[in-house]
Structure 1
Amino acid sequence: MQRLVDNVLAVTKESVKIFTYEALNNFVRLVNGMSALLLAVLPGKSLILEGIHEWELRPTFRGPRLPRWMEDGASSFNKFIHELSVDSDTSSNEDYMSDEDSDGIIPASPLSHSSRFSRASSFSKPNRHSSGWIKCLILWILFPLRILLIIPSYLYNITHSSSSTVQAKPENRYPPSPHSRKKSSTMKDHFVQSATDRRRGVVEDLHLGIEIAIEAIFDIVHKVAYCVFSPLESFKKLLHWFSSRSKGSKAMESDTVDATVMTATLGQNDAAVTERKTTLHNSLNTDARTCQDVITELGYPYEAIRVVTADGYILLLERIPRRDSRKAIYLQHGVLDSSMGWVSKGVVGSPVFAAFDQGYDVFLGNLRGLVSREHIDKNISSRQYWHYSINEHGTEDVPAMIEKIHEVKTAELKLIHPDQVVEDDTNTEKQPYKLCAICHSLGGAAMLMYVITRRIEEKPHRLARLILLSPAGFHHDSTVVFTVVQYLLLLITPIIAPIVPAFYIPTRFFRMLLNKLARDFHNYPALGGLVQTLVSYIVGGDSSNWIGVIGLPHYNMNDMPGVSFQVAHHLAQMKRAGRFIMFDYGSKSANMKAYGSPEPLDLGEYYGLIDFPVDLVAGRKDKVVRPSMVKFHHDLMKSAGVQEVTYNEFEYAHLDFTFSHREELLAYVMSRLNLVEPNQKSVQKQSSKTRKKDHTKEICSD
């Protein structure tokens, strides 16, 4: 009778699984089909979808042709867990169920390692505060989805907690199959060789959750049936359990320990069984790789440097060190980006790795603006943290990082060549190294602001050459969409600024959801194409690979870059004024206190202070910063008498300069960098003086 019940339960369980699997599969196909229908009627999609020519389309959600429990005599749930556990072996341990207010340590984000530094030092992590009733409303609306994603894992933990504490008998233990070991090894080798995307989408997680829920329910039914048909055995096991408890046996380990999933149905003696270990908290994993992970996996050295600005913000300066090099390069990202944008596509086409291979000491800067809110004041509020504009990027962040580069390089070169280093804090030409900078979008505007303000203050900027890729600053010729956004920002600033200090996703759950939706957009081309088109409409028709960018690892559940409301307001001020101005504080007295004049500083009027070569690059397909805006920078510098300024255009959209890493652009950038050579005159002069002194000492000793 027991065997009959086992068979009936096994068939029923697999039938329910197949029915739910096919129902979910058909629903997803319906959504993808409707997306394809909408995409077919949207205008201008052909140009917009050009930006996703490098888009990785890998549909992975497919329905079975035959009931999977009939294949090889193993359960479909067993195979599903086995396949997912291979990826889970290489994924990071993440507790997706913990809230932002959790006291536990959260894995550092790609922006990143400043979080790790601050936890290990006196700079402790700031407390997190909710964004008010708006956040509560969003949480209430999406509460059912959160429950649907979390409850199955709880059910699985409850139903398997008792079985995991009991040692299985030798005859019931099954070793992993050779195929599973081979597949796991292959996946790990592939991960080491390249920066692998290990995420799973929302649809895949729903499938996993449903499988776990069904397995848990039928497991309970099976245990009840076992107790009914084998009361004596059940009584013996109960006595054994009580006796082991009385003897002081250890309880089940914490929920971070991997649970053993026995992939067998009730009639396990008759089925081919595979045992795998899977981390339950990885069942909803996201790709939380850091910039360090990508760099080291590609075989390059890495160093993280913590930088503290004058106003207390903790920044991360990342480095691919070449300590004896007299050539250094500093790369600065744009808005809603991080250093990950320069390395995410790997070695081919990236200026980061190309510069290192050609002998440069590479530094990657990260501007302030993280959800983790790294600050020396651990109690800083959200409103206080996000209270900054582009002014602070150019006058606080960039100076702090460049001065740290100067400090590090000078100390290292002095240590390596103590008799050849000439330190001069006022003359860039006499530095023991040459520093070039590559900046994109907002990073370009911040760098220009840094150079001009340093020259006005008569402080050294330490730069030998500047390459600006689609730099912000002038926005007079932007699209109608940005014009509407400009007026909207200027209108609602007094109302929204006290409530919404920044544009970012405040909770780990919703950041995890965005990260997983990006994977679904890859798995379902029509849905991804529709989202790509809609996002492109929002940003003025730019054909950049927006879907690919949303899927970058720094958009993960642990941390994410955000945009201060004042930064957006500052950009709106620039567009309204038609000039490259510093932040307008709204009153003559406030501007007078900040700038010494009733109006904000017009940086374009001071372009004549730039005393080194500048290379400007624009994209013909760029709708965010149009070529005419970049050309305006060039013409203004030319008329101001900048000694060497060049202008070039490529067939790129806005994000192609960093995310796509084109070979044509790389060749151009490296050709400009190679024009700068370390100044050996001061070194040779100092060396000759040293040799003369040594020769004089030898004569005197003789």
Structure 2
Amino acid sequence: MQRLVDHALAVTKESVKAVTYESVNNVVRIINGVSALLLALLPGKANMLEGIQGWELRPTFRGPRLPRWMENGVSSFNHFIHELSVDSDTSPDYSSEEEDSDRYEYPPSPASHCSRASEAYNRHQMDWFQRMQSLKEQIIHRATDRRRGVVEDVHLAIEICIEAVFDFFHKAAHLLLSPSEAFVAIVSLFSSHGSGIEQDHDTFKDAAISTATRGGDGPAPTERSTNLHQSLNTDARTCQDVITELGYPYEAIHVITSDGYIILLERIPRRDSRKAVFLQHGVLDSSMGWVSNGVVGSPAFAAYDQGYDVFLGNFRGLVSREHVNKNISSREYWRYSINEHGTEDVPAMIEKIHEVKCAELKLSKPESEEEIDDYQPYKLCAISHSLGGAAMIMYVVTQKIQEKPHRLSRLILLSPAGFHDDSNIVFSTVEFMLVLVAPILSLFVPAFYIPTRFFRMLVNKLARDLHNLPAVGGLVQTLMGYVVGGDSSNWVGVLGLPHYNMNDMPGVSFRVALHLAQIKRTRRFRMFDYGASTNIEVYGSPEPLDLAEFYGIIDIPVDLVAGQKDKVIRPTMVRRHYKLMKGAGVNVSYNEFEYAHLDFTFSHREELLSYVMSRLLLVDPNHKPQRVARSKKKEQIAAASRD
């Protein structure tokens, strides 16, 4: 009889599972089907999805596929940069030439170098292929283990509930059909009740001692935290996890700005290197963007492999609200604009880099205070994207105005912000609404971010579902493309990156959004407009400082890069930077690639990586620049101000 009941319960359980699973799958299919229908009706969907890299629209509940560039083995880029460093005389010339008023001559593509590298790579393909197969298995294992979408969570929850319910009925039926065993179980329960209390007390005491012992060493909290992440199955890896898992060294440096914000400066250290590079992300991004494409597709790793000491900057603006004042309110924390990014965050990080490098290379301070302290036996270049580019320009200009050293030897700006009047109707509408309702909205909305861990976890999991459901992911990608004017960046793929996780997530201050709206409305790259009275106190004039008017005092080479498919910051806006800098006498170059806005950081682009490395290699770490007297520098700044 017991065997018959067990068999009946097992069959019933599997039947309930099958019906429930099929019901959930039918709901998912309906959602995916409706999304496919809407996607078919929307115009321009082909253009919206064109250019997506590393994202396969295919229905699967397995881990996400590897990017296309890793399917056939390792990239040829590492071999290319090795050839480029050895044979510097044959490196392509990307410097800009004289142009007509509305025409620009772009430098040649480095495709010829990539072809030579590909030929050399073929000779070692088998060795690399074996290594990449191992890496591929590790990546699939990590992706499958650490990420689970909402649909997969529903399947798991259903299975757990069904198992629990039928386990209860199985035990109840077993006791009813075996009275003797039930009587023995009840008697033993009551007889051991008194001694069980003492045993439980001793067990609890031993566990407490064991926990206290482990707590002193530190691994216990980490273990509990790890178990929580594993149970929720979200990808909560940090930039440190990504770097160290790939076998690179890592160092975290906490920097405190002059206004009390604690920001994280991350590093892939080469302590004895005399050439360093500082990478600064854009809006709603973090240092993760520079390492998210792995060993052969990330600018940070490419620079490190070429002998650079790599520093990864992070702007203020995380929901964790790290500040020296632990009790700072949300309203006070988010009370900053792009001004603070360029005049507080970047200076604090670069000065920390200078302090660290001076200590490691044992540099001495200058003997004369009458000379600008911009001489240093190491070279620091900066690579910035989007809002990070605008902040870097602001940093260099304001440092020169204040007669302070900026410590940089070269700027490489990838689709830099600063001019935004050439944009689509959605951005224009948002700009108009922000400027119109700013006095009221700022009282209730200090920033745009997801405040609770639950909803951040939900966003992270939904991003996984968008990968698994092709039509839903395509619909979201298309709608996002409409919002940004047709930009074909992999918006869905970016949502699934680890820095959009349940523990922390970048946000946008209301003042940063308002500052961008002010720039767009005035058609000028200006600092934040506080109002006439406050502007006089801050800038010494009723109008904010116009940064473009001071381009003439930029004393380092600047490389501007635009994306032909970029609809967020269009090439016309990057060319305006170029035209103004060129007219002011800045040593500036301009180049365009057939990229969308996020392709500069989140997509594997060998052509872009080779270009960036070729610009970095133009800086000679052994070259010693002449020191410029303060009096002469004052005359130069005064002349720029008069112009």
CA distance change for structure 1 residues 187 and 228 in 2, over 3 Å: closer, same or farther? farther
Please show how residues 264-663 of structure 1 align to structure 2 within 5 Å: 282-414=230-362, 427=372, 430-585=375-530, 587-642=531-586, 644-663=587-606
Aligned partner (choices 617, 622, 641) of residue 679 of structure 1 = 622
CA contact (8 A) 1:422 1:432 kept: no
Letter of the 2:536 counterpart = M
Deviation string 1:191-214 (CA, Å, 9 cap, x unpaired) is 379974631110000011111111
Call closer, same or farther: CA 1:308–1:617 in 2, change over 3 Å: same
- Give the whole-Å Cα distance in 1 for the aligned partners of 2:550 and 2:137: 52
Q: Deviations over 1:264-284 (max 9, x none)?
A: xxxxxxxxxxxxxx9686343
1:680 deviates by: 4.7
Tell me the distance in 2 between the aligned counterparts of 1:465 and 1:646. 11
CA distance in 1, matches of 2:558, 2:37: 47
Paired with 1:191 and 1:45, the residues of 2 have a C-alpha distance of 34
Once residues 438 and 599 of structure 2 are traced to their aligned partners in structure 1, the CA distance between those partners, rounded to angstroms, is: 31
1:64-86 deviation line (CA, Å, top 9, x unaligned): xxxxxxxxxxxxxxxxxxx9xxx
Cα offset for 1:27? 1.2
Does structure 2 conserve the Cα–Cα contact (< 8 Å) formed by 1:202 and 1:520? yes
- The alpha carbon displacement at 1:427 in A equals 4.2
2:3 is aligned to 3
Q: Are residues 1:20 and 2:16 paired?
A: no
The answer (yes or no) to whether the contact 1:445–1:472 under 8 Å persists in 2 is yes
- Structure 2: which amino acid aligns with 1:662? R
Q: How far did residue 231 of structure 1 move? A: 3.0
Residue type at the aligned position of 1:190: E
The alignment status of 1:191 with 2:138, answered yes or no, reads yes
Aligned-residue RMSD, C-alpha: 2.5
CA contact 1:300–1:320 (8 Å) conserved in 2 = yes
Q: Distance in 2 between matches of 1:467 and 1:678?
A: 17
How many Å apart are 1:678 and its aligned residue? 1.4
1:12-59 residue CA offsets vs partner (Å, 9 max, x unmatched): 111000000011111111111111111011111111101324204453
Whether the 8 Å CA contact 2:366–2:373 is kept in 1: the answer is: no
Between the aligned partners of 1:12 and 1:48, the Cα distance in structure 2 is 47
The alignment covers a number of residue pairs equal to 533
Specify the code of the residue in structure 1 equivalent to 2:384.
C
Shift in Å at residue 495 of structure 1?
1.8
CA contact (8 A) 2:385 2:415 kept: yes
Q: Tell me how far 1:227 sits from its aligned partner.
A: 2.2
CA contact (8 A) 1:194 1:297 kept: no
Opposite residue 556 of structure 2, the aligned amino acid is F
1:213 is matched with: 161
Identity %: 72
Aligned residue identity for 2:488: S
What one-letter code is carried by the residue in structure 1 that aligns with 2:612? V
Alpha-carbon distance in 1 for matches of 2:420, 2:606: 28
Contact between 2:447 and 2:510, CA under 8 Å: does it hold in 1? yes
Q: Partner letter of residue 339 of structure 2?
A: N
Assess, with a 3 A threshold, how the Cα gap between structure 1 residues 511 and 637 changes in structure 2: closer, same or farther. Answer: same
Q: Deviations over 1:66-115 (max 9, x none)?
A: xxxxxxxxxxxxxxxxx9xxxxxxxxxxxxxxxxxxxxxxxxxxxxxxxx
Q: Is the 8 A contact 1:413 1:421 kept in 2?
A: no
> 2:184 is matched by which residue type in structure 1?
K
Compared CA separation, residues 30 and 682, structure 1 to 2 (3 A):
closer
**TM-score, length-normalised on structure 2?**
0.79
Deviations, residues 481-524 of structure 1 (Å, cap 9, x unaligned):
21111101111212211111111011111111110110001011
> Structure 1 residues 464 and 194, CA, compared in 2 at 3 Å: closer, same or farther?
farther
Distance apart, 1:480 and its partner CA: 1.7
CA contact (8 A) 1:616 1:646 kept: yes
Match of 1:231 in 2: 179
Letter in 2 for 1:480: I
Tell me if the contact between 1:429 and 1:679 (Cα under 8 Å) persists in the aligned partners. Answer: no
TM-score, structure 1 normalization: 0.73
What's the CA shift string for 1:582-612, capped at 9, x where partnerless? 0001x21100111111111100000011000
* Cα distance in 1 for residues equivalent to 2:545 and 2:187: 82
For 2:50, the equivalent position in structure 1 comes to 50
Note closer, same or farther for the CA distance 1:239–1:461 as it changes in structure 2 (3 Å cut): farther
Q: What runs of 5+ residues in structure 1 fail to find an aligned partner?
A: 63-82, 84-185, 258-277, 684-702
1:682 CA displacement = 8.4
Distance of 1:495 and 1:209 partners within structure 2: 44
Q: Alignment partner of 1:498: what SS?
A: helix
Paired with 2:279 and 2:507, the residues of 1 have a C-alpha distance of 19
| Mapped partners of 1:17, 1:522: distance in 2 | 25
Cα distance in 2 for partners of 1:342, 1:297 equals 15
After superposition, the Cα gap between the structure-2 partners of 1:682 and 1:635, relative to the gap in structure 1 and judged at 3 Å, is: closer
CA distance in 2, matches of 1:187, 1:356: 23
Q: Distance in 2 between matches of 1:422 and 1:600?
A: 35
1:41–1:392: structure 2 CA closer, same or farther, 3 Å change rule?
Answer: same
Deviation at 1:251, TM superposition (A): 6.0
- For 1:530, give the aligned amino acid: L
The CA deviation string for residues 334-377 of structure 1, in whole angstroms up to 9 with x for no partner, is 00000001111101232111111111000000000001101111
How far apart in 1 are the matches of 2:552 and 2:243? Answer: 38
- Stretches of structure 2 that go unaligned for 5 or more consecutive residues are 64-132, 212-225, 627-643
Q: Which of 152, 177, 196 lines up with 1:245 in the alignment?
A: 196
